Amino acid sequence: MSKFDAIVIGSGQGGNPLAFWLADKGYTVALIEKAELGGTCINTGCTPTKTMVASAQVAHYVRNSAAWGVHSSGMSVDLAEVVARKNKVVSEWREGIASKIKARSRVRLYREHARFTGPHRVSAGAEELEADKIFINTGGREASPRIEGLETVDYLSHVSIMQLQRMPEHLLVLGGSYIGLEFGQMFRRFGSRVTIIEHAGNILPHEDTDVTDELHKALEAEGIEFMLGASANRVEKRDGNIVMTVARGSHTATITGSDLLVATGRRPNTDDLGLEAAGIETDAHGFIHVNNRLETNVAGVWALGDVKGGPAFTHISFNDYQIIAANLEGNKLTTDHRPVPYALFTSPELGRVGMTEGQARAAGHRLKIGKIPMTWIARAVERGETAGLMKIIVDADNDRILGAAILATDGGEIVQIIGAVMISGAPYTVMKGAVYIHPTFAEGFWWLMEDVKPVA
């Protein structure tokens, strides 16, 4: 039995900084990672996907350069080179984490599978470890839907599609949310024909339809095809292609593609952790129950990141580490009332923070809303990137901002300005009197705030 002050299971974007912080505070730490260092974000999530999105953006600019008066010829995409560049970036991040671990003598890395054998005991391979404090940061993985014949076809996940060395002729994408839309646009820009199949009546069904309708139009303008309100019933391999049968209302149809990407959701990595041996409770989907300080029902055991459910974003995992660290030092910090910013990295990019209009209405708020098209903003016109809009949702009773959506070039960057105002608790009117640099996208906030008015 090896005794540590703390055990961190999973080297993701919450587990790593937590392990380093604990070690720097004098704790002896066992860091257990069965796969690659860095967790989902570095290996199969943010880092590789956004590296490939950047390559797709360049391809889009080159292919359409004549619109800016720049003429090019002989443009082609070498997918193997795109993947090699992505792998290089991922490798560099992994090496950076390894060097940080090596620099801390108080952190011992176990490259093993972790499994609870008791409330404060964990096996790491053949070795038994014990600690008063245990932190679970094991993340999640793709969840496959139950569709007849799916297991008989060689379908792609968001992980395997990033290892392709050949260009799909016609990529079918099952799922019209974040993963499906990002990869759909990416491969369309690389040169594939792309069809996105979504069971809801619109893409991103949890967002406001006025926002998603604008994104839908922008993606269609690039040649992406959509089948909305379509549920996949059956998949089969036929003559080397993938044939999917879908139901739309009372009608059925078939669609044929060369490849299929399944992007219909994720599940937590809890089913092989032995949580029952520790008495750690989960919900029906396997997500670990935590309170607003991220403590599980077992004293001295915390969960952070995707494994606990809720918003599945790297920055939330990192903020979970900040909350845990603050509470270990005696400061009261919780997950309550934190406005969560996030982004969809398509073009235009959707930056979001706080409530949607639909959520605000469902919560019973009286509302003021401002909304302007990107065609009003000089910088968007100058760049030739006018697709999208800015939208802000305000509580009519106190003028505080409830949420915002920025669908624009760099929308994820821009929306964080509104997020900072939300954290301060200031009314939206402070943004009316601000001075914005001209010409920038943020300058649109002046027009947006002027447009805020009560709505029924």
> Mind telling me the catalytic residues?
438
Task: Give the position of tokens 């391999």.
Answer: 237
Q: Is the peptide bond before 373 cis (omega within 30 degrees of 0)?
A: no
Q: Report the alpha-carbon distance of residue 283 to residue 274 in Å, rounded.
A: 15
Closest by Cα among 273, 6, 263, 5 to 139: 273
β-strand partners of 439: none
Q: Report the alpha-carbon distance of residue 167 to residue 229 in Å, rounded.
A: 28
Task: Give the position of tokens 């669908």.
Answer: 407
Q: What are phi and psi for residue 291, nearest 5 degrees?
A: -90, -170
Are the C-beta atoms of 255 and 243 separated by less than 8 Å?
Answer: yes
What is the phi-psi region of residue 294: left when phi exceeds 0, alpha when psi lies from -120 to 50, beta otherwise?
left
Q: Report the alpha-carbon distance of residue 71 to residue 68 in Å, rounded.
A: 8
Closest by Cα among 372, 380, 386, 374 to 439: 380
DSSP string, 279-330: T--B-TTSPBP--TT-B-SSTTEEE-GGGG-S---HHHHHHHHHHHHHHHTT
Are the C-beta atoms of 90 and 163 separated by less than 8 Å?
Answer: no
β-strand partners of 142: 266
Q: Report the alpha-carbon distance of residue 150 to residue 434 in Å, rounded.
A: 54
Read off the DSSP letter of residue 68. G
Helices assigned H by DSSP within 151-303 = 178-190, 209-221, 275-278
Closest by Cα among 75, 127, 93 to 16: 93
